[in-house]
């Protein structure tokens, strides 16, 4: 079920970690594609890929799985470019943080001899680049696949096996259910962390501790990458921003009134939901 | 400059960590006081204190430094109770997350033979109890001391030396400047983390990853403890909640308008401030 030739398009943190994990397992020829040729040759030197390919179409023509680990606003164009050169039976998949917009854009535009399966590993870091890549980044992490009614069942199964082979647990859902879930579990936290971090005057940086550091960690992520994600999922994000703002108003009202029991009750609701999350290693 | 007898009032995470750190250095007799007698005997068993004292007044009468590691809404009453029994020259200090309210309440109510110095170590965890205590909790962490115009300079110096002896860096500022700073660096992040965590439906807990986990980590803290902190510093918190809500409205407007450049610019502001924080070990 494993691909013989895997092309990784975009050898940053995610693509690089896929490369390290696959090469540790062995048995798969890993091609790296990246428009940043310096990043690409570094990835080759570090053993993240077997071969560096400057050209997407060349890699697409020989791969049987092409995995797009590119910013979400570039995925559609790159998938279309690659698909035109793929041999029959090639599977294309991605790791983008939003799914519905990409899959709607691709709908009806791919040659029938290839299959596209949307995917999103729930793993990452505020760090960027293949120098932060780790072969165990996906171990015990959830990878969401988002097949649609017209998805090829065998292709979905093969992409699922691929992720499982590098330690991930796979869940399938619709692209829309995915985008709705991650708006709350990932995109809103990013926006909130960024808003909080932006309020810190430089002279108070010395007076921050673990609470501030953790609450704002993701705000160190790449603004370019994240503005594309937030923009692609903006309707779902606006839908979860509203109840968040409402909850802040509840806190404001309780503090304004000096109603400590109301404050305690709001904090208890947060504590209960937070404590329901299974601790990760 | 070290105390000969240290009484720690409240042997939870902070008090317990102080006990472990002081006993590792040696040369100080450490008394533990706690109304929770089970917690107290566990602390004795774990070597956090030399002696367990059920009674605050007995411990206060023999200590030369009494450190209150109790919830902020209990500190004033306990300091007054202890101070009445202290010998001349005894220093009382605390580790409370808010300072102005406590120090205002104590003003003019302490016997002149004792000195009170407000303090706040910027270290902690969402975990509670002495079972989470660590002797290195204060290593390289900032401890803020908040002397006022009528504080005894020698007492401030002795409390400062005490914290330095267990690895902390000491900064002095007014109680008001402290409360204003931590409203932004600690209390607002706590409130925000809690509001965010409270929105998570149980069925999405499986779909959270590092971003959600870190952004909401502190929400697992004790609601009772934290409602007392937020209530004691509510005016300062409301002052920083306003610009935070304003920043969220900026994000909302940018997303609503589909203005990706505005979103990028907001994220860049957060990234820049976050990146200015010196990484901690």
Interface size, chain A vs chain B, as Cβ–Cβ contacts under 8 Å: 301
Q: How far apart are the first and last CA of chain B?
A: 29
**Mean pLDDT to the nearest integer, A49-56:** 95
Q: What per-residue confidence (pLDDT) applies to B280?
A: 62
Question: Which residue, among B198, B203, B258, would best test binding to A if mutated, counting the most A CBs under 10 Å from its CB?
Answer: B198
Q: What percent of chain A has pLDDT above 90?
A: 94
**Mean pLDDT to the nearest integer, A119-129:** 89
Q: Which phi and psi (to 5°) does residue A139 adopt?
A: -60, 125
Q: Do B271 and A206 touch (CB under 8 A)?
A: no
Q: Do B276 and A241 touch (CB under 8 A)?
A: no
Nearest CA-CA distance, residue B53 and chain A, Å: 30
The predicted-structure confidence for B67-84, as pLDDT tens digits, reads as follows: 999 999 999 999 999 999
Banded model confidence at residue A54, pLDDT cuts 50, 70, 90: confident
Among chain B residues, the shortest Cα distance to A140 is held by B209
**Mean pLDDT to the nearest integer, B53-61:** 95
Does the pLDDT value for residue B229 go beyond 60? yes
d(Cα A140, Cα B104) in Å, to the nearest integer? 52
Closest CA to A23 of A172, A157, A130, A171: A130
Q: In sequence order, what are the residues at sequence separation of 6 or more whose Cβ sits closer than 8 angstroms to the Cβ of residue A231?
A: A73, B255, B258, B260, B263
Q: Which phi and psi (to 5°) does residue A46 adopt?
A: -80, 0
The predicted-structure confidence for A84-98, as pLDDT tens digits, reads as follows: 999 999 999 999 999
Q: In sequence order, what are the residues at sequence separation of 6 or more whose Cβ sits closer than 8 angstroms to the Cβ of residue B74?
A: none
Pairing of strands B51-53, A29-33: unpaired
Q: What per-residue confidence (pLDDT) applies to A128?
A: 85
H or E stretch at B6: strand B5-9
Banded model confidence at residue B1, pLDDT cuts 50, 70, 90: low
Does the pLDDT value for residue A279 go beyond 90? no
Q: By the 8 A CB rule, do A198 and B213 touch? A: no
Q: What per-residue confidence (pLDDT) applies to B25?
A: 95
pTM: 0.94
Task: Name chain B contacts of A223, Cβ cutoff 8 Å.
Answer: 264-265, 267-268, 271
Pairing of strands B119-121, A51-53: unpaired
Q: Which of A200, A223, A271 sits opposite B264 (nearest CB)?
A: A223
ipTM, interface predicted TM-score of the complex: 0.94
């Amino acid at each position: 079920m494993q691909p013989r030739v895997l092309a990784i398009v975009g050898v940053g943190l995610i693509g690089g970690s896929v490369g390290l994990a696959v090469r540790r397992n062995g048995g798969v020829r890993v091609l790296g594609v990246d428009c940043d040729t310096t990043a690409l040759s570094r990835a080759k030197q570090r053993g993240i890929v077997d071969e560096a390919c400057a050209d997407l179409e060349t890699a697409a023509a020989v791969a049987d799985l092409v995995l797009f680990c590119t910013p979400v606003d570039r995925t559609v164009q790159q998938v279309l470019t690659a698909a035109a050169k793929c041999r029959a039976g090639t599977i294309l998949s991605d790791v983008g943080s939003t799914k519905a917009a990409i899959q709607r854009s691709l709908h009806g535009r791919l040659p029938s001899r290839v299959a596209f399966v949307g995917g999103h590993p729930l793993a990452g870091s505020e760090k960027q680049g293949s120098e932060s890549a780790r072969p165990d980044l996906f171990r015990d992490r959830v990878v969401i696949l988002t097949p649609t009614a017209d998805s090829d069942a065998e292709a979905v199964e093969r992409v699922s096996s691929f992720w499982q082979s590098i330690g991930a647990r796979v869940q399938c859902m619709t692209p829309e259910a995915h985008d709705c879930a991650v708006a709350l579990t990932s995109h809103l936290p990013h926006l909130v962390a960024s808003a909080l971090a932006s309020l810190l005057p430089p002279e108070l940086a010395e007076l921050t501790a673990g609470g501030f550091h953790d609450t704002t960690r993701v705000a160190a992520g790449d603004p370019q990458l994240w503005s594309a994600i937030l923009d692609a999922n903006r309707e779902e994000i606006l839908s979860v921003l509203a109840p968040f703002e409402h909850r802040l108003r509840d806190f404001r009202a309780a503090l304004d009134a000096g109603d400590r029991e109301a404050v305690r009750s709001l904090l208890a609701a947060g504590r209960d939901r937070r404590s329901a999350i299974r601790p990760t290693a």
